[in-house]
Amino acid sequence: MSAVAERRTAVFAALRALLLEQPWGEVTLEAVARDAGVSRQTLYNAFGSRYGLAQAYTVHLADALCALIAETLTAHPDDPRTGLEEGLRLFLETAAEDPLIDRVRAGDAHHDLVRIVTTDAGPLLVRVAGQLEAAARTAWPQADPALLPPLARTLARLALSYVSVPPEYDDSPAVIASGLSMLLTPR
């Protein structure tokens, strides 16, 4: 891992740890820099602002969640429904454990955080859909290539909707994932 990647990983870990202890409004770049072992200027150079840091963290988290889904799709190449169900379940469980997502879901988020997954979510949706489409193409080479882009875009939008507006009912991630996978994949 390069020094830049290691520094970003340390910054995101520091941000996550701080968010477990306090709301976004109380998290300062100075505290993130201190806990990550970098200078505040390094954070400004890399992210530009607190909002830029939150956006980068969100992209980092989205990439990690897409990688989880890709792994489950690859693990079930002959059973797309199971692969998708497991991927969605892991996504929902992992997302619910993240403190930034938890703040948004609880309605305890600064408007900057909410913007990232609502009005400013276009680039994130495109990125996530692209990764999901690539994962589906790799896992399911026999699938109709015309069906994969709409499937990936639908999954990206559903995933983001569960981040920004949690379900108003108490279904478990496994129940939600099972229902979605049944709707989205043939048997």
Q: Are residues 63 and 32 in the same domain?
A: no
Tens of pLDDT, residue by residue over 103-118, are: 777 777 777 778 888 8
Domain harbouring 30, CATH code? 1.10.10.60
32-66 pLDDT per residue, tens? 999 999 999 999 999 999 999 999 999 998 999 89
Residue 187 has pLDDT above 60, yes or no: no
Per-residue 3-state assignment (H helix, E strand, C coil) for the chain: CCHHHHHHHHHHHHHHHHHHHCCHHHCCHHHHHHHHCCCHHHHHHHHCCHHHHHHHHHHHHHHHHHHHHHHHHHHCCCCHHHHHHHHHHHHHHHHHHCHHHHHHHCCCCCHHHHHHCCCCCHHHHHHHHHHHHHHHHHHCCCCCCCCHHHHHHHHHHHHHHHHHCCCCCCCCHHHHHHHHHHHHCCC
Same domain, 142 and 67: yes
Number of independent structural domains in the chain? 2
| 129 in the same domain as 55 | yes
pLDDT at 14: 96
Across 145-151, average pLDDT: 92
Please report the pLDDT score of residue 49 as a whole number.
Answer: 92
Residue numbers of the domain that contains 144: 50-184
Q: What is the pLDDT of residue 111?
A: 79
Q: Are residues 144 and 61 in the same domain?
A: yes
54 and 119, same structural domain? yes
pLDDT at 97: 83
Q: Are residues 39 and 54 in the same domain?
A: no
- Between these two residues, 38 and 187, which has the higher pLDDT value? 38
Q: The whole model's pTM is what?
A: 0.85
Given this model, what pLDDT does residue 60 score? 92
> Do residues 84 and 132 share a domain?
yes
Say what the pLDDT of residue 166 is.
Answer: 66
Q: Could you tell me if 102 and 67 lie in one domain? A: yes
Residue 35 shares a structural domain with residue 105: no
Q: Do 26 and 59 belong to one domain?
A: no
Backbone phi, psi, residue 71, to 5°:
-60, -40
Q: 62-97: per-residue pLDDT in tens?
A: 999 899 899 999 999 888 888 888 888 888 888 878
Asked whether residue 176 falls in the same domain as residue 100, the answer is yes
The rounded distance, in Å, linking the Cα atoms of 32 and 56 is 14
Examine the fold and report which residue of 48, 72, 87 is the final residue of a domain before the chain moves on: 48
Please tell me whether residues 44 and 63 are part of one structural domain: no
- Longest pairwise C-alpha distance within the chain: 53
